[in-house]
Amino acid sequence: MSQRVWNEKAETMSREEMERIRFEKLRKQLKRSYRNSVFYKQKFKEIRVKPEDIRTWEDFRKLPIFMTKQDERESEAESRERTGYSFGMHCLVPPEKMKIVRTTSGTTGTPTFGYSYTKRDYERFKECLARVYWLASLRPGDRVLNCFPALGGIHSSGGLWSGALLRMGVVPLEVGAEAGPERALQFAMLTKPTALLGSPSFAQSLIEASPKVTGKEIREMGIRKLLLTGEPGIEMPAIRRRIEEAFGGQWHVWWALYGEACAASCHGKKYQGMHEVAPEFSIHAEDIVDPATKEPMKVEEGTIGETVLTVLDREGLSFVKYATGDVIEVFTRPCPCGYTGPGYRFKIVGRVEDMLIVDGIRVFPISVRQVISSFSPRLTGAMRIVLSEKPPEITSPMRMKVEHGPGLEENDLTELKREVKAKIRMICGIMPEVEFVPPESLSRSIWKTSMFERKYEA
Ligand SMILES: [Zn+2]
């Protein structure tokens, strides 16, 4: 099959044509949201605007944030009380029309129901994800070891992705992160996957467990396509190199918050960010606000700010002006890879709640961790930022615990500390206090490892 993209029409369209289609869909989404939900009617009323008043892209950008994660939780709690269902007051259809019920992993509080869909919305979801997987090099005939958290209840978004795989003629092999690396490897020996879907932490745990479980290095398993997501900072060159070398395969990162803002990284030695593959289904990288003030920011090459999500053409759960809490860097220029889609590219910079302000300078822990990783193998890459007071504003110097690599002498460490501090100062603009700890002394997690050690009363 020589097809370059999953959806030839949508992924070769000009930006101008795509913009026309999007604006038309936006007007419909705003109208339906106003008409069919108490939540959005109230939001529009508060600012004395009606959907019909939004006539231009500028009008839309000036609208304030309608929903945060907290509002989403409250909207869901209210609907539980009023209707008995958890879909939220921002749901535009009767609850019986919701056919797929899935939640977020709930790693940072009560899980939310954004991964729940009507039949039509799930078709839309599968179309978007198929574009992601195609760009990330999956092809019909591939067999994918799906290592997302898959249990029911609060950890349940896992099985969703398989619908998109089936649509492409790819075979999903469901194992689930909860099974742990040993069982995943035993299953892989029986089913011979060609690709892996999961988090970088899980990929690393497979690398480590393979010799013990299978008697072979992981590269002998034949898993050559690595589709990773779910953790901040996964595009770090050191992590990428380690995973690619161990598997003997190619690494891609991808993104799909609530099945929206779908994006994947392309081929190529240098990471260019993730390409938006389905811009006609949501607004994301073009609606950026200042993470602190929530004021709209001008979006151009290199803009860094919090993304605001607005879904287009989604029938059930409507997210309009939803502050995602994700801080991204946007790229508007064409990518050297030659991908033809009309969307922008973006890199994840961090979560708004992780942002620190040190001496007036905004610092995202991911960029600190990237510096630490660049010192591999002299540093293992594991680190914690020690917080003695509630962020974002913390007293300078920022304190860090950093694992040094094995076999280093006292003299090496003194020199290394000087180098690490200087590089953090150059990249992040602040001079931290660094304390070295022995290799493997900081705990690891199979799904997401925290970058903070919190020492204050919450
Ligand atoms: Zn590219």
CA gap 110, 216 in Å, rounded? 40
pLDDT tens-place string over residues 150-199? 544 444 456 788 889 999 999 999 888 888 999 999 999 999 999 999 98
Element (H, E) at 70: helix 69-83
Distance 454 CA to ligand 1 centre (A): 38
Please report the pLDDT score of residue 153 as a whole number: 40
Ligand 1 geometric centre to CA of 199 (Å): 21
- Beta-sheet strands, E only, within 241-378: 250-257, 260-265, 274-276, 282-283, 288-289, 304-311, 322-331, 345-351, 356-358, 361-363
Tell how far the Cα of 334 is from the centroid of ligand 1, in angstroms: 8
- pLDDT given for residue 157 in this prediction: 56
> Separation of 340 CA from ligand 1 center, angstroms?
9
Reduced to 3 states, what is the DSSP secondary structure of residue 149? coil
How far does the centroid of ligand 1 lie from the alpha carbon of residue 290, in Å?
Answer: 26
Distance 227 CA to ligand 1 centre (A): 15
CA of 164 to the centre of ligand 1 (A): 22
240 Cα: distance to centroid of ligand 1 (angstroms): 17
Over the stretch 195-219, which tens digit does the pLDDT of each residue have?
999 988 899 899 999 999 999 999 9
**Continuous segment of H or E residues that includes residue 58:** helix 57-62
The pLDDT value recorded for residue 162 is 86
The structure's pTM equals: 0.89
**Ligand 1 centroid to residue 120 C-alpha, Å:** 30
Query: Residue 275's closest CA among 19, 11, 23?
Result: 11
Coil, strand or helix at 174 = strand
**If you write DSSP's letter for every residue of 363-412 in order, what string do you get?**
E-HHHHHHHHHTTTTTEEEEEEEEESS-SSEEPSSPEEEEEEPTT--HHH
Give the pLDDT of residue 450. 79
Taking the centre of ligand 1 as the mean of its atom positions, its distance from the CA of residue 274, in whole angstroms, is 7
Instruction: Convert the pLDDT of each residue in 303-356 to its tens digit.
Output: 999 999 999 999 999 999 999 999 999 999 999 999 999 999 999 988 898 999
CA of residue 248 to ligand 1 center, whole Å: 22
Task: Report CA-CA distances (Å) from 207 to 179, 210, 214, 221, 243.
Answer: 16, 6, 11, 11, 8
Residues with CB under 5 A from ligand 1 (ion): 266, 272, 335, 337, 339
Please name the residue that has the structure tokens 């997690």: 445
Going from the Cα of 225 to the center of ligand 1, the distance in angstroms, rounded, reads 17
The alpha carbon of 272 and the centre of ligand 1 are apart by a number of angstroms equal to 6
Dihedral sign from CA coordinates of 429, 433, 436, 441: negative
Residue 266 Cα to ligand 1 midpoint, Å, equals: 5
Residue 268 CA to ligand 1 centre (angstroms) = 8
Ligand 1 centre distance from Cα of residue 17 (Å):
21
Give the N- to C-terminal CA distance of the chain in Å, as an integer.
Answer: 55
**The residue to which tokens 């910079």 are assigned:** 349
Averaged pLDDT, groups of 10, the chain, 458 residues long: 88 96 98 97 97 97 96 95 95 95 74 92 96 97 88 53 92 88 96 94 92 97 94 76 94 94 92 96 97 94 96 98 96 94 93 92 89 89 93 94 94 96 95 95 73 87
> 338: CA distance to ligand 1 center in Å?
6
Compute and round to an integer the Cα radius of gyration of the chain. Answer: 22
Q: Rounded to an integer, what distance in angstroms lies between the CA atom of residue 111 and that of residue 186?
A: 30
Find the 311 Cα to ligand 1 centroid distance in Å: 24
Report CA(265)–ligand 1 centroid distance (Å): 7
